[in-house]
Amino acid sequence: MTAVAASGVGHYAMVPKWVLHSSASDRAIRLLAVLGLYANRTSWEAWPSRRTLARELDASLSSVDRALRELVTLGVVEVVHRRNAEGEPTSNLYRLKYGTPGGASPAALPLVTDAARSIHPCSGVASPVTHRTRSIELEVLTVAFDERFWPAYPRKIKRADARKAFLKLRPNEPLIALILAAIALQARGWNEPKYIPNAATWINGRRWEDEPEHGALVVGAPPPALEYADIAADFRRQGPG
């Protein structure tokens, strides 16, 4: 059981061993600890704003969202979207689930259980998962497609085909970041819609792996090029398992 305790050095949070032994990222584990600090000690529910979490982690809102998706897919956090009396969105409710999923012992868990991290690091493709985890994974990936990939891709045709290709790819979070950076960079050269490939074709062709045009990554290059270079370098540095 995870708990929050106080000592001579102040409050601190403890994280379950099974979470530490999962493939959750360091930031996701830190986010779980922060949520524990804010949680009610009876219900283990917390409701800090995303900006508060970003401040606690010294991270961007998008980084908080990525870490949260890992925790949700791992099964250690449940998110309840709340609204005020006027029906307007307010801070989320986060319900912490510290027990090992399904009652299994940590030793019985697969090495990787969440969609965002259950991959060979270089391939960016998820490894086999249980039926329950697979269902959660598809839900997470569908949200990633609808809220991140599709809004970023400039040619809005054959959405169903694009979603099918995206879900078949099963990209992890680092690969999604690389894909979005590649779209931002390549879109600078897509001046005429007729020359923009369909999104499904782009995904199936693994076009994020295309080499940037000569000179695109030199000093003084535009921000999309520099962001792509940084993300691609991080992706390659992960190395095999």
pLDDT digits (tens, 9 = 90+) for 169-215: 988 777 888 888 888 888 878 888 888 999 999 999 999 888 776 44
Per-residue pLDDT, 227: 59
Q: Assess whether pLDDT exceeds 50 at residue 150.
A: yes
How many CB atoms are located within 10 Å of the residue 236 CB? 11
How far apart CA 63 and CA 236 sit, in angstroms, is: 20
Per-residue pLDDT, 224: 55
Q: Tell the burial category of 47 from Cβ atoms under 10 Å away from its Cβ (0-12, 13-18, 19+).
A: middle
Whichever domain contains 28, its CATH number is 1.10.10.10
Q: Which of 80, 67, 131, 128 is nearest to 102 (CA)?
A: 131
Q: Are residues 163 and 122 in the same domain?
A: yes
Asked if 76 and 130 touch (Cβ cutoff 8 Å), the reply is no
Q: Are residues 67 and 175 in the same domain?
A: no
Q: Assess whether pLDDT exceeds 90 at residue 166.
A: yes
Per-residue pLDDT, 75: 87
Q: Are residues 127 and 189 in the same domain?
A: yes
Q: Are residues 2 and 96 in the same domain?
A: yes
The number of distinct structural domains making up the chain is 2
User: Could you list the residue range(s) of the whole structural domain that residue 23 is in?
Assistant: 1-109
Q: Are residues 89 and 28 in the same domain?
A: yes
Residue type (1 letter), 139:
E
Q: Are residues 7 and 101 in the same domain?
A: yes
3-state secondary structure of 180: helix
The full DSSP string for 155-169 is ----HHHHHHHHHHH
Per-residue pLDDT, 108: 37
